[in-house]
Structure 1
């Protein structure tokens, strides 16, 4: 059983975590944090949770791990601290619950809701399109151009850097980083895994773990990687970016996989009965209208969409087909 910690101490731990990752930190501030940590066993436990949370945020470079916490304005900062304290209350009880919390949306500078898409034009002329339930932060400085993918999926179209330094363009995920080499590419963050498909140019993949081998992925190939390793490259599915046009393209996709994809674009639960999980689905379905996509599915295949509520739908074999 996880021992509870006084919410006031968790709130203080959240405040220290914010301060230490919001920019330059003085030796005096670090010493003060250390004194706070040693104040009692409960303070030490709260700080241990804070460190675990930082580890869970992906093993990113310290300057990128929590970039959106450096916010102007006390009300917004106070709200972010309160939410962080709530996260600390659940560490390490269950990271599955943590994954369900809208942490990325709370802190990211740019994000989309379920079913929403959004295109951003960055300061250098590059464009980033966010898919459903996605979140990013953008950090450009004199040395590099960084997009931190905190959740979901993006399509990146890079522009040549006009700065004299010719700064590299990087996408940083929880598993590592991608360096664009004059390119258009799709990146998707999943649990413990990042997927990338290169549509134009090339991308250098660098897993986050020290010593892990890098690889340059050329146009027409796709791969996935963890913090420690990469999968073998396979031919890129060029329909992977159909979502930017509001479509989900399926080619003999098992119904269970189709349901999982469509579920990303709606609020609530979309389940698939095991009896029809392997049914191959093909076609182009509008993700901007998940209800219409389900109607098309039911009209084409021997399945029914059973609604417990509008937020809970199960795909089952059609009664006449059982």
Structure 2
């Protein structure tokens, strides 16, 4: 169940309609409901602004180069084009995670947690700012974790289940497991049963009570997991036991919609323990920064710089 209820507004509803209208299953009935929703002036304005922003993200059409141009104007045009590309890249970098989530079949907003039961009887618990795609039609049930973190309670129905995470594939043989995508690595924690991580020519079998991290180049050694703290986020808590400080800061910053930038790389490797409130990430970050003698700087509501 969501940890907090967000009051709907035209901008949020416009984002949801933007996603729904682009889903393959959107039918004429939903489009009629959308048309009725647009009758309200504030709704129509919110959706028009979103469409305008989306169009601005699209690359401009190529134009034929004139045969003769002034050299000075040519240099000015190049600088303007470079500036445009830099601005476009910055905007895409900031909003690409949001557009990815909206384009996914299942997703949660920043600070929201949600539980969903799939048609096969399995249950997904999605963490804040998470996104998944699900295909249960074949002989092998296919899931794809696009962003964030998910806790899976798998109902065994005689079919195999696989979860795609970046370049890796997780073959599920158990009933309870947790998969997370972080900034620089991904992680699997098995709470019941077993699961196999396969990437390229490597593979690791992970049993109940074990965890393994992996990235695009390697699968690390399987380690013991603490089942009492692994899924504490489902209750709105982050219980860290000898956890890298950078990972704790990343989780708390993500819960308020910010990306983390640590100036001193050694700071990220400090080990910390504690119990942090995910539903009050600003207070948790302030307390952690005070205890660790850190300075936090929020930039434009998108970055959290740690010094």
SS, match of residue 100 in structure 2: helix
- Corresponding residue number in structure 1 for 2:24: 70
Contact 1:196 1:223 in 2 (8 A): yes
Aligned residues: 239
Residue 116 of structure 1 contacts residue 288 of structure 1 at CA under 8 Å; is this kept in 2? Answer: no
2:255 maps to 1:265: yes
TM-score (norm 2): 0.63
5 Å matches for 1:144-223? 144-161=140-157, 166-190=158-182, 193-207=185-199, 209=200, 212-223=201-212
Residues 219 and 275 (structure 1), Cα distance of their counterparts in 2 relative to 1, 3 Å cut: closer
Paired with 2:263 and 2:198, the residues of 1 have a C-alpha distance of 39
Cα distance between partner residues in 1 of 2:103 and 2:55: 13
The yes-or-no answer on 1:233 pairing with 2:233 is: no
> Which residue in 1 is equivalent to 2:285?
294
SS at the partner of 2:148? strand
Verify the 8 A CA contact 1:255 1:272 in the aligned structure 2.
no
**Does 2:274 align with 1:283?**
yes
2:102 counterpart residue number: 106
CA distance in 2, matches of 1:285, 1:235: 22
Contact 1:175 1:192 in 2 (8 A): no
Matches of 2:221 and 2:196 in 1, distance apart? 14
Evaluate the alpha carbon distance shift between residue 280 and residue 170 of structure 1 in structure 2; reply closer, same or farther with a 3 A threshold.
Answer: closer
Q: CA deviation at 1:237?
A: 3.5
Residues 26-80 of structure 1: per-residue CA shift (max 9 Å, x gap) = xxxxxxxxxxxxxxxxxxxxxxxxxxxxxxxxxxxxxxxxxx853434879xx99
Q: Tell me whether 190-199 or 307-316 shows the greater mean CA deviation.
A: 307-316
Aligned positions of 1:73-152 closer than 5 A: 73=27, 89=59, 100=94, 101=96, 102-152=98-148
Give SS of 1:267's match: coil
Gaps of 5+ in 1: 1-67, 317-322
Change (3 A) 1:189 1:268: closer
